[in-house]
Structure 1
Amino acid sequence: MSVCKALRIAVVFAVSGFIAACNTSSPSDIGMSQGASGTASYASATLPGDADLRQVAELPAPPDTAGGTEVPIAPSDTLDVFVFQVSDLSRTVQVDPSGNINLPLIGNVQAAGKPVRVLEQEITRAYARNYLQNPQVSVTVKESSARRVTIDGEVNKAGVYQLPPTASLIDAIALGGGFSRIADTGKVYVFRQVGNQKLVALYDVSQIRSGKRANPRIYGGDVVVVFSSSSKIAFQNLKEALGLASSASRIGVGL
């Protein structure tokens, strides 16, 4: 059995049966409070946590994407560089560990840390300086390391996936092949690194689908874990789930 397959099995069994003997979960354990009618109501307050992980009612957007700011190009990103009517200069390139791409005639160009439109302008000026008259250059991000999401637990195809430019939690579940037969759609947790703090929030996908709750946006770096209907959720489960899913993502389980 390969390492990837062994770890995948470990993740599935661990997420499915996390501390089944734990029968002391309370509304605060699973990230919601109970109203007078007994239905779940979501608070804006921070929920239980510790120095390693904190549970919140709603996840904030990552700082580098708040307000719609474009995520800069990063090492390992794959870019499509298209030079209009000059096919010999158009190509797909990967940003190297130093943050550079290599293009015909102009050689290495620093790409990492720059928005796509800034890189486009720099490549255009470089070709116009010595080689082309009025070049028209377009750059698109084909694959982005900053848009990878880990989807684990009770989904049909756990793994690490490339997110489209804007993606929701429903989109992420679909990337993972939908819920498994024993999944609990009310036990979907999203983990996110915000600054130096790891945060996690609970989402009930059935409420999202019925319009009772907003469909949250998912960002690159997020980890989505779906628990089984038999799981008893306590805070320690969430820390263990994050650790297992993060380990799986490092070796590309499901890809």
Structure 2
Amino acid sequence: MRLIDRLFLAIVPGFFVLAGCTSTANTGAAPSDVLSLKTGATSTGDGSLQLVKTLPPPFGTDGGSEQLLSANDVLEVSIFQADTLNRTVQVDSAGRISMPLIGVVQAAGKSVRQLEQELERAYGKSYLQSPDITVFLKESAGQRVTIDGEVAKAGLYPVTANATLLDVIAMAGGFRDIADQNKVYVFREIGGRKLVANYSVAEIRSGRLGNPRIYGGDVVMVFTSQSRVAMNNLKEALGVAVNASRLAVIP
């Protein structure tokens, strides 16, 4: 099994299914060595993978305009005219923060604005009149994306609220020479559904396709171009043959 296939299997274990798709991808059918087709499947309730033409934004992000908080994020909470209640807090592994007077509050999975509103309701209920609360995301642990496959520097990278596919490819140092720019897959889990879309970076760069947003938790996988591998092998073989012929004629 090729290295790129093993990397793929490590990301989404189990049996992969293309379900409920009228179109396989932005650039045509998915390669047969990447995904398996199970005809008649209409959902991914069994944890299988669903190929979609375009990935929707994560739930609760207001169409992608909001960033969701996650465990280990560090927040600065400021309460106007109540400085003694201000805190720098870290979201714990259960997704909660602890604030003076009101105690534990669930933070993970909410946007900054949603958390501000919840804190204002909690403090306004018993302690403060019309509280004005600001939450600032100081450090984000959850806003990272995994970039793997045929890129110069595969790894885990932090992303901003407006990161795009081209941005994260650039973070990883661009494509290796054997990468297939038409086989760039983005994986995203939404509401328990595992989704994947195939994007052609070549067409994005040419302006024929839009540059999709990338969110924390996404996995970007760049697959190998078999034609490029074959060409490199051919060049290598020709180089060996030429060198051998030169050696043969040396007196």
Work out whether the TM-score is over 0.5: yes
Looking at secondary structure, tell me which structure has more strand per residue. Answer: 1
Counterpart in the other structure of 2:71:
75
Aligned match of 1:102: 98
Separation (CA, whole Å) in 1 of partners of 2:67 and 2:161: 10
Alignment counterpart, residue 226 of structure 2, candidates 224, 230, 236: 230
Partner of 1:209: 205
State how far apart, in whole Å, the 1-side matches of 2:227 and 2:4 are: 8
Q: Over alpha carbons, which structure has the higher Rg?
A: 2
* TM-score normalized with structure 2 length: 0.60
| Alignment map for 1:1-255 (pairs within 5 Å) | 14-15=3-4, 32-33=27-28, 49-50=37-38, 52-65=48-61, 67-68=63-64, 70-82=66-78, 91-103=87-99, 105-106=100-101, 108-112=103-107, 113-121=109-117, 123=119, 126=123, 137-230=133-226
Question: Distance in 2 between the 1:231 and 1:53 partners?
Answer: 27
Q: Which consecutive residues of structure 1, in runs of 5 or more, have no partner in the other structure? A: 1-9, 19-27, 35-46, 233-255
Residue correspondences, number: 198
- Which amino acid in 2 is paired with 1:110? V
* 2:27–2:182 CA contact under 8 A, matched in 1: no
The 2-side partners of 1:66 and 1:127 are apart by 25
- Shift of residue 154 of structure 1? 1.5
Higher relative contact order (CA 8 A, sep 6+): 1
Residue segments in structure 2 that go unaligned for 5+ positions in a row: 8-22, 30-34, 39-43, 229-251
Q: 1:54 to 1:127 in 2, by over 3 A?
A: closer
Cα distance in 2 for partners of 1:123, 1:60 equals 29
* Alpha-carbon contact 2:25-2:53 (below 8 Å) kept: no
Q: Deviations over 1:124-177 (max 9, x none)?
A: 6749976x9997642122344553321111222212222211221111212223
Closer/same/farther in 2, CA of residues 135 and 56 from structure 1, 3 Å limit = closer
RMSD after superposition: 4.0
Residue number in structure 2 paired with 1:3 = none
Instruction: Percent identity, please.
Output: 48
